[in-house]
Structure formats: C-alpha cells, structure tokens
Structure 1
Amino acid sequence: MTEVLTLGESMVAVRTDASLRLGGTAHLSIAGSESNVAIGLARLGHDVAWMGAVGDDEPGQLVRRTLRAEGVDTRFIRTAPESFTGFIAFDQPTHDITRVSYHRRGAAGSTLTADESVAAVTAASPTLLHLTGITPALSGTARDAVLKAARTAHMRGTPVSLDVNYRARLWPRSEAATTLRELLPFVHTVFASRDELDLLTEASPPAAALLAHGVTEIVVTAGAEGAWLHTADDKLHQPALPVGVVNSVGAGDAFVAGYLSAVLDDQQYDARLARAAVAGAFCVGAHGDWEALPTRADLELFAHGQGTALR
C-alpha cells in the first residue's frame, strides 16, 4: 500500500564549496522539494511514491537511480524524450551564504499533465497526497496536474497536504495566490512560512481564516524561532533545536517529511511537531538537500545531547 504519493520536479544538483565561476571540484546529486520529502519519508520507513518526468538522458537516469536506491517507488516516473532533465546549481560566494541558480525552463519536469496525475492518484490510492506550490508554477499543464490531483484525492477521501514553497523566480505573487487559493478547498494540512500566508488569504489573522475555509491543520514555520501549529482547538509552538547551521537548503522539506511521518504513525500534534523539528535539525547540520535526512533509528540521537560520543 502506498502511504504517500507526491508529484513534482526533481533535478540534477551541482554543488561547489566556492563561487561556481571559479570552477573546480563539484558534488553531483539530485534535488527537488517533493523528491526530498519522498526520500525523507522512505528513510523513516514509509511506503512513498514520487511521480514526475525526466529527460531521456543520463541526468534523468541519476534521478531514477537515486530515488530507487532510497526506497522510493518510481513506477510513476515518465521519460520525456523531447525534453531534458533540469538542473540546479548551489555555490558558496562566501563561507556561510549559499547561492542557488536554476536551469529548468522547458525541462521535462514542466511537462506533467492532469491525466497522468489523476491516473497516479487512482492507481496508488495513497493514504495521503503531498503537493507543493513549486510544481504549478512550472507550466500550465503542471498547474492543471496539481489541481486535478488534489481534486481527485479529495473526492476519494484522501487528505492532501500543501507546502506553499513560494519561488519568486517562477511566478509573481499575484499569480501564485490565485492558483494556491484554488487548491485550498481540497487541502487538509498547510505548511507555510510567515511571509507566505498572504498568498493563501488576505484575511487577518490568516490562520483563523484558513481554518474557517476548511483547512484542518496550519503549520507556520519561522526558522530559528521554530514552528507553530494551528488547529480549530489549539495552537502549539515547537522551538527549533539548538544545532549549528551548516546549510538551510532542504530544511523545510525535512520538516515536512518528519511531520507527515508522525501523522502516518497517528501521533498527537505535539509529537508531530517534535519529529518535524528533529528531521529539520538533521538537515541543517550538513550540506545537501536530502543526504542528511534521518532514519527512524536516527531520531533518538539528539536525546544524547551535542558533543556526545557514542561508543
């Protein structure tokens, strides 16, 4: 049984420790919000499938191979021979700043269609469908794919989670707001940073407005300040764990994976936030979008305290 189905774009990631323009040694991997979440959930022992399109090229094979190696179900990946697999570059112009550049216009990830997203939801019959605000920004067909997937899942009684994940380089805020608000009637759980809430509603306070709109759980993240969970009956705060930050890229996806894992384990709200915070802490402590994501056994490591030597 598929516990989680997610869909979106996964790209090849090139990472350097200095300014990219200087050349030199680079690390090759993959990246993508939805595939990061899929890997995070798989490492935590869940059955998760990722749907997307890759080019008929070696980068596309790298995406497939990495996801398979991480235990993610890849049966819904389509090869788009007329397109290429996009890539993303991370470099460090200074020691503690990461610069991100995308090379994805016209890439395979933007060719997702509504028909294949509906077919995947129907075939996988997941316990939960996870979406982000990145995919509908890629193209008109990708937007339709996300909307139809959400509508289909909702009609089947499948909870839908949405990570806003706004990317200004992909679309203006006004366009993002229009599309994301179309999704809201089908969404059970929302993940958003403070500065993304106005994309979902103009009302104030936004969390109360979203709950009145029918969303059941709103998780608002605030970096080092932690996260807040709003429900109809409660408001909970989860402090961020006091760990050194090496790289924040992918931390939001790790947080989401931890939270959804606890949902699937039928944990209470405070335990969901706690697992999410631990997963996020693992991610910020190392380079890479997903490489440092924890396994289920790893979740207990922070209980030992920083600087502990396990012998």
Structure 2
Amino acid sequence: MNPAPPHPELVTLGEVMGVAAATTPGPLATGAALRLGWAGAEATVAVGVSRLGRSAAWTGRVGEDAMGAMVLAGLRAEGVDVSGARTDPAAPTGLMLRERRTADRLRVTYYRAGLAGSRLAPEDLDEARMAGARILHVTGITPALSPTARAAVEHAVAVARAAGVIVSFDVNHRERLWSRAEAAEVLARLLPYADIVFAGPEEAALFVPADEPERMARALTGLGPAQAVLKLGADGALAVADGALHVQPAVRVTAVDPVGAGDAFVSGYLAAVLDGSPVPERLRLAALCGAFAVSVPGDWEGLPRSAELGLLAAQDISR
C-alpha cells in the first residue's frame, strides 16, 4: 500500500448543505417521506476524485448542528480530508428541499442565505495546503454566495497560481444566486488564473460570443486557460487543449436523476489529470462518471469507484 501524500492532491472549497429529498413523486404534504442527505458541487468533485483512488480535501463552513456533523462525517466516510473545514457557531448549516413534483420534474428550494456555507472567508483557508496540492478546484457557485466567499475563492486561486498549482474552474452558473451580468463580471476575473475551465455552452456565453461548441471552447482558451472543456449533456463533451480538439460522445444509460452529472464529469476529468492520462482518456473517464451519476438518485451517491468503471466502460457510445 502506497503511503498517503503529505498534502491532498486535490483541494477544493465551497458550500455543502443538508438535503431533504422527497422519496416519491407528488406535492409535499403532511406525512410525506423525505430522505436526508447532503450535497455541494465542490464536495461532489472531492468525493468523486477520492472514489477513483486519488486524495482530496474540502474546505468550507458548516453549522455547529446535527446537519453539519452529518456532512463532515459523510465526507470523512468517503475518504475526503475535512481537517480544514470549520464549524460556525453563529450560523446553522444550509438546507436544500428537493420535491419531485411529478415523475420527471424536480422542484428545489434553498435555505442558504446568511447561513454557515455562505460565511466562508479568506481566513478559513490553509495556504500551505493549497500551495502543496496538485490541483485547486473552484466553481462559480461559491463567489455568488457572499462577498466573503467571493474573496475566499479569489484568494485561493491567487495562492494556487503563485505556487504553480493547476487551477480548475467550473463556471457552474446559478441564476437563482445572481444575474448573468453580475456573474460574467465577477467570474471573468477568475478565468486568467485557470488552467482548466469547464462550462456548458450557455455558461461559456457569459464570456465569449455564442457559437458552435468548438469555437466557444477555442475562444475560452484565448482568455487564459490552456484547456477548455464544454459539457454538452446528451451530446457528450469536447475539449480544446493546447490548441487540439478532442471530442467525447455520451455514454448510453437510463437517466434517473440529472442532478450532479456535471460535477461527476469534472471529478472524472480531474482524477485522470492526476493519473497523468492524456486528454482523450480524461474525457472518457469524465463521461463514464457522468453516466454513473445520472443513473442513480442523488448528487454524489452514484459516483463510481475505480473497480466499477468496467460496468459501463463497454457500453455503446451514442453518436
């Protein structure tokens, strides 16, 4: 058995909330059954990387409450280092209420404004840990939560960039949190720090003119990142890396729950980066992880372990 690295290979920071999810379709009503869990974009990436055999750490704030304890215990159980996480006595852990209003329509309500996750601040970060990592992963969700969370992300990418750490940035725009104009202004400041940027076409259009995906990816690399990866849903994905185009079809599966698919995709890509794999293999692993995620209810529960990849690796590829 190889000894654990002195620093986690991937470090990420952000918000994790408790999740109360309806177990059956229909409107919420007295006596409805709910499944308790937790979710967060950056934490999902950390779990995915950990399940694929690489080391990962998550930094953020949770409340000094039962929900916060559940979140930290859950991340530890997945092998994610949470020694840099902070429990906040002044604010409770946020909550996501997920209602399956019909068999194929989700309705989500968030309780997060001013709560523990949004109170992340630059002083919560371990600069030595970030500087010693191989990858720092951030998303566009955290900067939208509060001015202090925004400052934490901007400080993290500056520290990582100065230390020569690969900076991974998933745009992950959330219209409920802020307008496209505000998101474009703030997130454009992160692009020059990023080595790898992930986006869907609508997210990429925050920064570059709407066009066909390859041209948008190439335009993104013109803003700083060496690699631009466009997530295209059922149409798969493509990457422009060091000027070369790589295309990855989607893996055919029966979709059960689309939540978390993008973060699962990112976790596979970054795990392959840590493995030293070339870009086509990064995209292939990313597509497999996304397929596993949509095949299972929940944000991160369906993420594969390395030994399970063969279950879908031989699946037909949609073209």
Please state which band the TM-score falls in when normalised by the shorter chain.
over 0.9
Residue 245 of structure 1 corresponds to which residue in structure 2? 255
Following superposition, the deviation at residue 19 of structure 1 comes to 3.3
The CA deviation string for residues 223-245 of structure 1, in whole angstroms up to 9 with x for no partner, is 10000111233111111111111
Q: Answer yes or no: is 1:63 the counterpart of 2:66.
A: no
Q: How far apart are the structure 2 equivalents of 1:268 and 1:121?
A: 29
State how many pairs are aligned. Answer: 304
Alignment of 1:198-217 (within 5 A): 198-202=205-209, 205-217=215-227
Q: How far apart are the structure 1 equivalents of 2:42 and 2:66?
A: 21
Q: How far apart are the structure 1 equivalents of 2:236 and 2:245?
A: 13
- Aligned mate of 1:7, from 5, 9, 13: 13
User: Helix, strand or coil: the match of 2:178?
Assistant: coil
Residue 244 of structure 2 corresponds to which residue in structure 1? 234
- Aligned mate of 2:42, from 27, 30, 34: 34
User: Helix, strand or coil: the match of 1:199?
Assistant: coil
Unaligned runs of 5+ in 2: 1-6
Task: Give the partner amino acid of 1:12.
Answer: G
Alignment of 1:90-105 (within 5 A): 90-105=98-113
Q: How far apart are the structure 1 equivalents of 2:292 and 2:47?
A: 14
User: Helix, strand or coil: the match of 2:15?
Assistant: coil
- Aligned mate of 1:81, from 68, 79, 89: 89
Higher deviation after alignment, 16-25 or 173-182 = 16-25
Task: Give the partner amino acid of 1:286.
Answer: V
Q: Answer yes or no: is 1:274 the counterpart of 2:284.
A: yes
Following superposition, the deviation at residue 199 of structure 1 comes to 1.6
Q: How far apart are the structure 2 equivalents of 1:121 and 1:91?
A: 39
Alignment of 1:178-217 (within 5 A): 178-202=185-209, 205-217=215-227
Q: How far apart are the structure 2 equivalents of 1:248 and 1:81?
A: 34
Q: Cα–Cα, structure 1 residues 305 and 201, in superposed 2: closer, same or farther, change >3 Å?
A: closer
| TM-score under structure 1 length normalisation | 0.94
Q: How far apart are the structure 1 equivalents of 2:245 and 2:234?
A: 18
Q: How far apart are the structure 2 equivalents of 1:281 and 1:271?
A: 15
Alignment of 1:254-269 (within 5 A): 254-269=264-279
Q: Answer yes or no: is 1:133 the counterpart of 2:140.
A: yes
Identity rate, percent: 44
Task: Give the partner amino acid of 2:66.
Answer: E
Q: Answer yes or no: is 1:116 the counterpart of 2:133.
A: no
Q: How far apart are the structure 2 equivalents of 1:206 and 1:270?
A: 19
Q: Cα–Cα, structure 1 residues 167 and 257, in superposed 2: closer, same or farther, change >3 Å?
A: same
Unaligned runs of 5+ in 1: 307-311
Residue 225 of structure 1 corresponds to which residue in structure 2? 235
Following superposition, the deviation at residue 20 of structure 1 comes to 4.7
Q: Cα–Cα, structure 1 residues 303 and 147, in superposed 2: closer, same or farther, change >3 Å?
A: closer
User: Helix, strand or coil: the match of 2:148?
Assistant: helix
Following superposition, the deviation at residue 202 of structure 1 comes to 4.6
Task: Give the partner amino acid of 2:105.
Answer: I
Task: Give the partner amino acid of 2:152.
Answer: A
Q: How far apart are the structure 2 equivalents of 1:11 and 1:36?
A: 12
Q: How far apart are the structure 1 equivalents of 2:170 and 2:220?
A: 14
The CA deviation string for residues 98-120 of structure 1, in whole angstroms up to 9 with x for no partner, is 22211111110111112223xx2
| TM-score under structure 2 length normalisation | 0.92
The CA deviation string for residues 203-261 of structure 1, in whole angstroms up to 9 with x for no partner, is 87432232222211111011100001112331111111111110100001100000000
Following superposition, the deviation at residue 91 of structure 1 comes to 1.5
Residue 160 of structure 1 corresponds to which residue in structure 2? 167
Task: Give the partner amino acid of 2:16.
Answer: S
